[in-house]
Structures are given as C-alpha cells and as structure tokens.
Structure 1
Amino acid sequence: MFTSLQNVQIFFWLMFASTFGTRKLHEARNSWHSGCWILKSLVYALSIGIPFIIPNIFIQLYGEIARLGAGIFLLLQLISMLHFISWCNKRWMPDPGSNQCGLFGLFLSTICYIASFAGIGVLYFLYVPNSSCAFNIFNITWTAILVKIIMAVSLHSKVNEGLLSSGIMSSYIVFLCWSALHSEPEAGKCHSHMKIAKDGDWATIVSFIIAICSIVMATFSTGIDTKSFQFRNDEVQLEEDTPYSYEIFHIVFAMGAMYFAMLFISWELNHPARKWSIDVGWASTWVKIINEWFAASIYIWRLISPVVLRNQFVNDEGFVPHRPTV
C-alpha cells in the first residue's frame, strides 16, 4: 500500500516543483495548476511507473522521509486548526467594548464543553473496563486535566480569551485522545466494552471509508488554507494575485499522501497491517498522543504568550541600571 501511494506523492512533488513561485493569474503556470488535465494524466502515469524502477533501498529511505513528512502534515493541520479556532472566536464572540450579542458563541461554547466532559466520561467507560488499564487511565485523566487547564487559562483576567476557542480546542484534544485509544491493538483487556468487528464486516468497511473521506477533506482544507502558514498578514491581495499559494497547496497534498500512507501501514514500515484496518498499532497510538500533548501546549502558549512577552517588554523598558555612588 505504501508503494502504491508513492506515485501520488511523486505527482504532487512534481506539481510543487512546477508551480513554485506562481503569484499572478496571468502566468502560464496558473493554467498548468488549474487545467491541462491531459498532460497531468500523462505526468501521473509517469509517476506510477517510477516506484517500480527505483531500487528497494531508496524506497526504504523514502519511507523514513515519509514518516517525517507525515509528522509535518500533522503540524500543518494543527496550525490550520488554530487558525480556524481564531476565526470562530472573532466571528461569534464579540469584542469586550462592543455591543454585539454573543449568545450564539456562548451556546457553541456550552456545547463544546459538554461534549468534551461527556466524551471523557465515555472514554472511561469504553477503554477502562478494569483498574489494570493504567495506560488508558493516565491518558484519559491527563486529557481531562488539559481541558481544565485550557479552560482556566482562557478565563484568566490577564488572558480573557473567552470560552469558545478554548471549548473548541478542548473538544479537539478529547477527539485526539479517543483517536489514540482507538488505535491501540485490539488484543488486550482494555477493549472489553468495544464490539470488535471481524475482517470484512460491513461496519468496519464503512468506518474505513469514512476515515478515508475525512482525511481527504482535512488535506484539502489544509492545502487551500495557506493564509495560516504566512508569517506576515499585512500583504494586500490584488485581483491579479492567485487566491492561495499553489506550491503550499501541492506540498501539503504531498505530505498528506505521506500521512495517508502511514495510516495504511500504521506507521510501521516492516509490518503489514490487518485487512480493512487503518491506523491501528502502538506506533499510531503514540503519534496521536504526542500530537494531542503538542496541540494543547501550543494552544496554551498561544494564550499566555502575549502576557508573558508584554511583561518582559515592560520589564526591559522599565529597567534602570543601578549606578554605584562613589
């Protein structure tokens, strides 16, 4: 499966190289990005044959590179998620000095926090059938602590971020915790409440297809959300400018294909995955756990960094060196 997905990765790397630096709609490479489907089909057919002529040692090396690319894709997805949270907060939560009504934002905040705490309870029920499941108990408990920390920091008087953005992030990290626990190998005592489907069961196949569709949608939304990855947001968008960065779009899709391949092989290059299973194994579990902790850490730093940096700036500006008197 990993080798078969290499052609998709090669295709998007070629598209990245051919559209790099495209900024105007009148450029010829703009037509290449949005059209020329017959020529693109030929390029894709060429990329299909490339993995069959590459020595196996290079495929193994590329597999290690794909792991790194998949990790970068998770980071880009996190940045896009933070940008989406900021957009929701600005869209539905009024400014402190405005007269806008924030009832809808408050309603969404309530729903997110109810879903977060209810989700934690469901995780305890599903994945902690007995007290011997120390690994699951620790991860679920730590997720609950992270939710409370995020809520407390966002409501602090010096931060005053509100409940909507923190509620969405809390729901997101609870989802990551569930995804990590769901990726645990099914052989064990900590899945007794789960109804394990057999190979080829229709429920397993449907969940497999839903997982594929969700990954494709996440890749596409991350690819077109190039404004999240800009270091400067003060650039003026002209009518002749491209609506988004084509090279970032293609490199995100290339890394998304790497992530997709890692899910199919459960992040294990030398161990085949079970039929109709996707993203199951201890490697997948740890990747998602680390992703959850990293997401919570980045969000908390995003909340407190203005306060910390402002206090540091004030201290630097107000510092008067003591000059000893003679």
Structure 2
Amino acid sequence: MEGTANSNADRYAKLMEGSWWTQFRRGSNPWMARYVYGLMFLITNLLAWAVRDYGTSTEMERLKGCHGGKDCVGTEGVLRVSLGCFTFYFTMFLSTAGTSKLHEARESWHSGWWSAKLFLMIALMVLAFFVPSAAIQLYGEIAHFGAGVFLLIQLLSIISFIKWLNDYCQSEKYADRCHIHVMLLATTAYVVCMLGIILMYIWYAPEPSCLLNIFFITWTLVLLQLMTSVSLHEKVNAGFLTPGFMGLYVVFLCWSAIRSEPPEERCIKEAEAATKGLWLNIISFIVAVIAIVIATFSTGIDSKCFQFRKDETQAEDDLPYGFGFFHLVFATGAMYFAMLLIGWSAHNDMKRWTIDVGWTSTWVRIVNEWLAVCVYIWTLVAPIISKSRQTTPA
C-alpha cells in the first residue's frame, strides 16, 4: 500500500512539472479537473441564460408542456437546465464523498473519465426537459433552500479567508514585514467603503422620498462602524484589516441589493438615466455570470475552512481539496444561478440581459448582508465567550 502511495505521489509530482495542457492530456489530475468542472459550470450558466432569453420557441413550449405562457417557458427552461446541472454535480458528490487519498479509485473517477461524465451531463440535461412541469415547480421551491445554503457556504468561506489573511499578517514571522502592507490595505478598504456609500447616496437616494434606499445605505454605514468597534475592542484586538475587508463585502452586498430593485422604481430610474443602454446591461450580465462561476469555484476548493481540526499535517498523498465538498458547492451553485436568472421567483418577468432583478432578490441580498455582519461579529466574540466560560469556576 505504501509503495502504491509513493508511486502515485511521484506521478503527480511529474504531472505538475508540465504545462497545463500536458497535465490535462495525461489523464487523472485533480488540479486540472477543478478547472474543467468550472468550465462545464460556466457553459451550463450560459445555456440556462440562452434558454431563458431565446428558448421561447413553439417547439420548446410543446416539449415542456408549459401552460403559463412565454415567461413560464423561460423560467421553466432555467429550472430544467439547473435541475440537470444539479443532478450531475450531486451524483458526483455522492460518488466522491469521503475520498481522502490520491491513490483511491474514486480519485480517478473525479479527475478522469471525461467522456463518460460529459455524456452523463448531456443526458441529464436532456432528461430534465421531459420532467413534468409540476415536478419542476417543486424543484424551484427546493432551489430556494439550496441557493441559501450556497450563500451561507460562500459567506463562511469569505470570512475564513479574511481571518486567515489577518492571522497570517499578524503572525510573529510576518508581523514586522507586513505592517506597512496591512495599514495600506486597511486604509484603502475603508476609503473604498466610504466612497461606495457616498456614491450610493448620490445615485440611489437622490431625493428624500427614496426612504428604503436611504435606510439600506445608512444601515450599511452603521454596520461598518459596528464591525470596526467590535474588532478594535481590547478583548478582541483584531485590527483594522478584517473589518475593512468585511466592509467591502457588506458595501458590495448593499449595492447589489439596490441594483436588484425593479427598474420601474423611480429612484433606480433616475440613477440609471445617464447610463441607459443595452451595452451596459450586456456588460453587467457577463460580469455577473463570471462572478457566479468564480464564486462557486473558489468556494468549492476551500473545503479546509469547514474542517473542525485544522492543525492536522498534510500528507503527500492527501487530496489537495475535498472532492465531495467541491461537488456539493457546485450542486448548490446550480440552484443559486437558477434563482439569479429567474429573480428568486417563478413568476418574475425577467427581461433579456438581466440577472438577479426583483424585490425578492433585493431582500435576499439585504438579509445576506445582515447575516454576514452577524456571523463575522460572532466569530470575533465566540472565542472570548468560550474562554470566559472555561475560566469561570463551577
């Protein structure tokens, strides 16, 4: 067994020395496999968009048996593509969960057999278009929960990365070397946060009557101050870097929430009057799709932030990332992109080249923002509470 592990380690070491094409061409390679899965996920996103915006032909309507009219066809088309994608990645999750070593047979299934997996994915996509409409509507309801799970996993991954970066910069080995860099990064983060808040006031709250937008933006400013105060508390002493980076994430979520408001809103209309044009919608849509894929990919390979024991040493034949977790994130990501394309509601009238628009989308973003702040503050306070309980005499 030890000889097999050593031979596999040598094989992967040789693989990593070659070019990316050589690594992929030579077969089973978990490092290159994750990019292939990401590319497949991107193609699925584009397919779902094409079905929504251009898949309202008579043939597709007859194939699906959709009785809700044109918009129903587009929405159901997205859900059907999402169902096929979810089924594929969930199947991969079931078949690779628990894999721990590079020499296991399931590693070859994850990193190779691309012809079989491509056929499987296409077959699942086609079969999804023959599923009864009632089952698709049920999947749409379940997808709300799956998309929420994806957002939660993504949130924990982002917070874990920010805390890791802060701990890395504050470690004894790099504290002196990174001091200036930390100050520059933290200062830049706060400047960008304040600039973003000011611009949101100018663009999305031009009049006192835009009360909801004013509330969203002002509350974001309050949350930024709250995170900074907790982080700088003498018992926490987490510095400026983590609340600064979390502030960037929170401001981005607030901006995304306001941007998701229906275009009929007067405040949004005035904000977009100067930037009206199809080309802007197309660019925003492309950026949003790429962001979905990158977020899913980066979260999927970050399985270590969900380990309960992080002090375990890494063996040479250990997996570079958790295969099961990787596919689970992509499975929930399939539900997430469906929710974005239909505006979190099967009854939304989504226009072409739009994504994540509607009041449901707005409130999902806002709740995600508030939850992010709560989770971040809890990660700062929880160790102190736990330590105080341990030191308190019974």
- C-alpha displacement of 1:197: 6.2
Output the TM-score relative to the length of structure 2: 0.77
Where 2:271 maps in the other structure, the secondary structure is: coil
Q: Specify which of 194, 202, 222 is matched with residue 272 of structure 2.
A: 194
Q: Which amino acid aligns with 2:231?
A: S
Q: How many matched pairs? A: 316
Deviates more, 1:204-213 or 1:282-291: 204-213
Deviations 1:251-276 (A, max 9, x none): 10011111011000000023341111
Say whether the 8 Å CA contact 2:348–2:358 is kept in structure 1: no
Say whether the 8 Å CA contact 2:101–2:318 is kept in structure 1: yes
CA–CA separation in structure 1 for the residues paired with 2:342 and 2:372:
24
Asked if 1:245 corresponds to 2:322, the answer is: yes
Where 1:267 maps in the other structure, the secondary structure is: coil
Identity %: 47
The residue aligned with 2:108 is 31
- Map 1:129-144 to 2 at 5 A: 129-144=206-221
> Greater helix percent: which structure?
2
Q: Which amino acid aligns with 2:90?
A: W
Asked if 1:153 corresponds to 2:204, the answer is: no
CA–CA separation in structure 2 for the residues paired with 1:97 and 1:158:
22
The residue aligned with 1:226 is 303
CA change 1:96–1:76 in 2 (3 A) is same
- Map 1:169-184 to 2 at 5 A: 169-184=246-261
Higher relative contact order (CA 8 A, sep 6+): 1
CA change 1:39–1:50 in 2 (3 A) is same
Where 1:130 maps in the other structure, the secondary structure is: coil
The residue aligned with 2:96 is 19
The residue aligned with 2:182 is 105
CA–CA separation in structure 2 for the residues paired with 1:96 and 1:149:
30
CA change 1:98–1:135 in 2 (3 A) is closer
Where 1:26 maps in the other structure, the secondary structure is: coil
Q: Which amino acid aligns with 2:232?
A: L
Deviations 1:29-88 (A, max 9, x none): 111111111111111122112212322221111111111000000000001101110122
Say whether the 8 Å CA contact 2:300–2:325 is kept in structure 1: yes
Where 1:185 maps in the other structure, the secondary structure is: coil
- C-alpha displacement of 1:101: 4.8
The residue aligned with 2:333 is 256
The residue aligned with 1:303 is 380
Say whether the 8 Å CA contact 1:2–1:264 is kept in structure 2: no
Output the TM-score relative to the length of structure 1: 0.92
Asked if 1:125 corresponds to 2:207, the answer is: no
Where 1:102 maps in the other structure, the secondary structure is: helix
RMSD of the TM alignment (CA)? 1.8
CA–CA separation in structure 2 for the residues paired with 1:198 and 1:148:
34
- C-alpha displacement of 1:311: 2.4
CA–CA separation in structure 2 for the residues paired with 1:56 and 1:150:
46
The residue aligned with 1:322 is none
- Map 1:1-80 to 2 at 5 A: 1-80=78-157
CA change 1:127–1:98 in 2 (3 A) is closer
CA–CA separation in structure 2 for the residues paired with 1:114 and 1:15:
43
Deviations 1:168-223 (A, max 9, x none): 00111011100100100111221213237667x12211111111011101100000
CA–CA separation in structure 1 for the residues paired with 2:127 and 2:340:
22
Asked if 1:284 corresponds to 2:361, the answer is: yes
The residue aligned with 1:267 is 344
The residue aligned with 1:323 is none
Say whether the 8 Å CA contact 1:183–1:281 is kept in structure 2: yes
- C-alpha displacement of 1:23: 1.4
CA–CA separation in structure 2 for the residues paired with 1:103 and 1:119:
24
- C-alpha displacement of 1:95: 4.8
Q: Which runs of 5+ in 1 are unaligned?
A: 320-326
- C-alpha displacement of 1:96: 11
